[in-house]
Structure 1
Amino acid sequence: MITPQTEQELADYVASANAPIWVQGGGTRGLEGEGAALSTASMSGIELYEPGALTIVVKAGTPVADVEAALAAENQRLPFEPIDYRGLTGVMGTPTIGGVIATNNSGARRIQVGAARDFALGVRYVDGMGQIVKNGGRVMKNVTGYDLVKLMSGSWGTLGVLTEVALKVLPAPETEATVMIHGLSNAMAVEAMASALGSPYDVSGAAHSEDPAAPVTLIRIEGFEASVTYRVAQLTKQLAQFGADITCATADSSAIWQDVNAQVCFQQKDGDIWRVSVAPSDGAQVIAAAGAEQATMDWAGGLVWLRMAPGTDLRTRLRGFKGHVTLVRGSGFPRFHPEEAGVAMLTKGLRQRFDPKGILNPGLMAA
């Protein structure tokens, strides 16, 4: 494992490399690829934190837990609620903030505030030629030049190795509550979640578990206590049409959504884990077509998690749907959804520009 201690050490290594480099942060995704493994975990630390400006700048190898602890001390948080994948992949690494941005790792709150990339203000990275590049800044209105910040977010280390990220953060809410509708079918759950998101009650999470023994639909409300109490009461009245068995969780609401983000219900169970991004209205139909051993929905049906029998060709089963299918745990299939011809041409051009030697995570996102 190659573990550069500084940005310059990383740049020197990449500049001299002529063989593939397998880039990773904390190594929590269980990815295996060609070449020497390189981790940015040793480049760690908070460079700048200005609570009053809602801005934090951290080195890419900084553990997510360290960032969240620093923010919590000032009653702030990462708005996009990154997912901890360790329970799903079975790999006990340490999630890093660079890995979060490199994979655009976004949790249940995405339906309200947006994705991780929407809160990335600036980045520093080393490209495939070993050049140190800086783009963006520390304020949201910095729009000079090309928006490489968005391009690096979700590139999975194929365009460059992140060394530093600047993020916008938000205040933590005073309280939260989760409205739980029990016993809905997948199709009815999608309707209920759509109704909640279409309401004026500022929903920050909408998920559903199809557990045959106790299916439950979860709707999260966050904010000031009096406002949350009012909105929960009104939303409960609105959702009464979908089922008489509606309860509300307050004290354990945060723990409920930690489990939703980590997909705890899939952990320590056999099978392949797939992540399907589709139109929310298609969520229930995707589950029916997949024939999964277990399924959940997040993002009001727009994100479907499936546990399948090992070796199941899920992409063939879902060929009639528009969306993206990603293999989170398993083997025998490409991890990422095959690109359409036009997109493949564009991404190939980008990789040739950013990594002309073709050494950064080759073959990970495209052949």
Structure 2
Amino acid sequence: MLEPRDAQDLRQIVADAASQGRKLELRGGGTRAGFGAPREVEVVSLRQIAGVVDYDPAELVLTVRPGTPLADVQALVAGQGQMLAFEPWGDADATIGGTVAASVAGSRRVTAGSARDHLLGLTAISGRGESFVAGAKVVKNVTGYDLPKLMAGSWGRLGAMIELTLKVLPRPRVTATMLATGLPPRAAHAAMACALGSNAEVSAAAHLSTGETLLRVAGFAPSVEARCMALPALMAGHCPLQRLTEEEAAPLWQRAMTGAELQGSVRWKVHLPPARAPELLERLAPLGAGWAMDWGGGLVWVTLDDPGTQVRDAAAALGGEATLIAAPQDMRATVPALQPRAAGVMALEQRVRRAFDPAGVFATGRFMEDADADQLSA
């Protein structure tokens, strides 16, 4: 494993790989190293390129290097009464760079957006071994192309981020969770849609296979209290509600946003129109799938032991897509991690990658559709 100490080291490593025809896989904390197809590739760890570059709480802007532990970033902004806008989550070794590169977003995604919505700017190294800057260290930036949106969720296929500028938000003074129990998926979706569309300003909504439906309300204490008092009447046509303590609610939200407690050797992350989530679960019921629903139904974690692609097929039929998060090695070797796209879309994606990485340094085989990206004409 290569461990560059700074941006200059990393530029040299990438430039050498480009000139020698070698492949490099960028890695943060390695918490998602098992994602994608099995591959033999040289790993470049960014853990030593860490630390806070600049933090201006008054301007709600943080610039940080990619190897900085996610937990440290969250603790830093929490100390100023703030939070990362997209509610990232990860294991103890997760880094901020890896979190953004994987576009991780928690339950607040349904109202606050994802990492790509809050990555204001970056400095990165392309597959040529050249530095480039995109965006700006301000909340509003309208000049040029919005390259940060390409980099967030790119899984290191476009370049190595060496600085990230992120928007932060004030942390709510109070957060409360209202709970309904015993609702089947269709009734739960209707309840979540009602809550999210109401004037109660519900910031997150989730439903678990064990029957819990969760609604989150956050803000200043008087506002939260008033909205929590109003919600039972607003939801009277759907379900009775009770308020949970923070200690009771935290593990339920963790289950919803990560699907971590679901049993099964194969794990899928399904994005689809929220109204179609109940139908997806009905189609998968004969397979005995485990599941958890977040983002008001827009995200469904699905686990099972069947190595087939029934989950992906069902998601596609309902206008969604399924990402293979974890599976035995033989399945990962034959089933693409990402939902296959139309040929035209895939060709466009490959040309974009070619522009950043003409030698295919970052086309490691992790994503099967990337394998021949460096064979495309410029």
**SS at structure 2 position matched to 1:241:** coil
Q: 1:20 Cα deviation (Å)?
A: 1.1
Aligned-partner Cα distance in 2 for 1:46–1:208: 37
Aligned-partner Cα distance in 2 for 1:96–1:202: 31
Q: How does 1:109-124 map to 2 (within 5 A)?
A: 109-124=108-123
Q: 1:358 Cα deviation (Å)?
A: 0.7
Aligned-partner Cα distance in 2 for 1:255–1:72: 20
**SS at structure 1 position matched to 2:236:** helix
Aligned-partner Cα distance in 1 for 2:313–2:271: 15
- Which residue in the other structure is 2:246 paired with? 251
- Which residue in the other structure is 1:69 paired with? 75
- Which residue in the other structure is 1:90 paired with? none
Match of 2:344 among 338, 342, 345: 342
- Which residue in the other structure is 2:26 paired with? 23
Q: How does 1:189-208 map to 2 (within 5 A)?
A: 189-208=188-207
2:280 paired with 1:290:
no
Query: Across the two proteins, how many residue pairs are aligned to each other?
Result: 354
Q: How does 1:89-128 map to 2 (within 5 A)?
A: 94-128=93-127
**SS at structure 2 position matched to 1:9:** helix
Unaligned residue ranges in structure 1 (runs of 5+): 87-92
Q: How does 1:165-244 map to 2 (within 5 A)?
A: 165-211=164-210, 215-244=211-240
**SS at structure 1 position matched to 2:67:** coil
- Which residue in the other structure is 2:266 paired with? 272
**SS at structure 2 position matched to 1:169:** strand
Aligned-partner Cα distance in 1 for 2:85–2:4: 30
Mean alpha-carbon deviation: is it higher for 135-144 or for 217-226? Answer: 135-144
Aligned-partner Cα distance in 2 for 1:175–1:274: 33
Q: 1:319 Cα deviation (Å)?
A: 4.1
Mean alpha-carbon deviation: is it higher for 26-35 or for 55-64? Answer: 26-35
Mean alpha-carbon deviation: is it higher for 130-139 or for 291-300? Answer: 291-300
- Which residue in the other structure is 1:9 paired with? 9
Aligned-partner Cα distance in 2 for 1:306–1:57: 35
Aligned-partner Cα distance in 1 for 2:226–2:156: 45
- Which residue in the other structure is 1:362 paired with? 364
Report the AA paired with residue 317 of structure 2.
Answer: G
Kept after mapping to 2: 8 A contact 1:33/1:361: no
Q: 1:254 Cα deviation (Å)?
A: 4.3
Q: 1:270 Cα deviation (Å)?
A: 3.5
- Which residue in the other structure is 1:89 paired with? none
Kept after mapping to 2: 8 A contact 1:34/1:361: no
Aligned-partner Cα distance in 2 for 1:96–1:137: 22
* TM-score of the aligned structures, taking structure 1 as reference length: 0.93
1:37-76 superposed Cα distances (whole Å, 9 cap, x missing partner)? 1111111101111111111100011000010111111111
**SS at structure 1 position matched to 2:94:** coil
Q: 1:322 Cα deviation (Å)?
A: 1.1
Aligned-partner Cα distance in 1 for 2:6–2:327: 34
Report the AA paired with residue 14 of structure 1.
Answer: V
Q: 1:33 Cα deviation (Å)?
A: 2.9
- Which residue in the other structure is 1:330 paired with? 327
Q: 1:83 Cα deviation (Å)?
A: 2.5
Unaligned residue ranges in structure 2 (runs of 5+): 371-378
Mean alpha-carbon deviation: is it higher for 34-43 or for 254-263? Answer: 254-263
1:287-318 superposed Cα distances (whole Å, 9 cap, x missing partner)? 11123421111011110111111413222344
- Which residue in the other structure is 1:79 paired with? 85
Mean alpha-carbon deviation: is it higher for 44-53 or for 26-35? Answer: 26-35
Q: 1:362 Cα deviation (Å)?
A: 2.8
Q: 1:241 Cα deviation (Å)?
A: 1.7
Kept after mapping to 1: 8 A contact 2:103/2:116: yes
Q: 1:94 Cα deviation (Å)?
A: 1.1
Aligned-partner Cα distance in 2 for 1:293–1:256: 19
Aligned-partner Cα distance in 2 for 1:107–1:258: 9
Match of 1:281 among 258, 275, 284: 275
**SS at structure 1 position matched to 2:317:** coil
- Which residue in the other structure is 2:313 paired with? 316
Q: 1:5 Cα deviation (Å)?
A: 0.8
Q: 1:219 Cα deviation (Å)?
A: 0.5
Aligned-partner Cα distance in 2 for 1:48–1:24: 23
- Which residue in the other structure is 1:35 paired with? 41
Report the AA paired with residue 12 of structure 2.
Answer: D
Aligned-partner Cα distance in 1 for 2:153–2:244: 34
Aligned-partner Cα distance in 2 for 1:318–1:278: 7
2:297 paired with 1:301:
yes
Seen in structure 2, the aligned counterparts of structure 1 residues 147 and 105 have a Cα distance that, compared at 3 Å, is same
* TM-score of the aligned structures, taking structure 2 as reference length: 0.90
Q: 1:141 Cα deviation (Å)?
A: 1.7
Kept after mapping to 1: 8 A contact 2:280/2:314: no
Aligned-partner Cα distance in 2 for 1:316–1:168: 36
CA RMSD of aligned residues (A): 1.5
Aligned-partner Cα distance in 2 for 1:79–1:257: 17
**SS at structure 1 position matched to 2:235:** helix
**SS at structure 2 position matched to 1:242:** coil
Percent identity between the aligned chains?
A: 37
**SS at structure 2 position matched to 1:28:** coil
Aligned-partner Cα distance in 1 for 2:251–2:185: 23
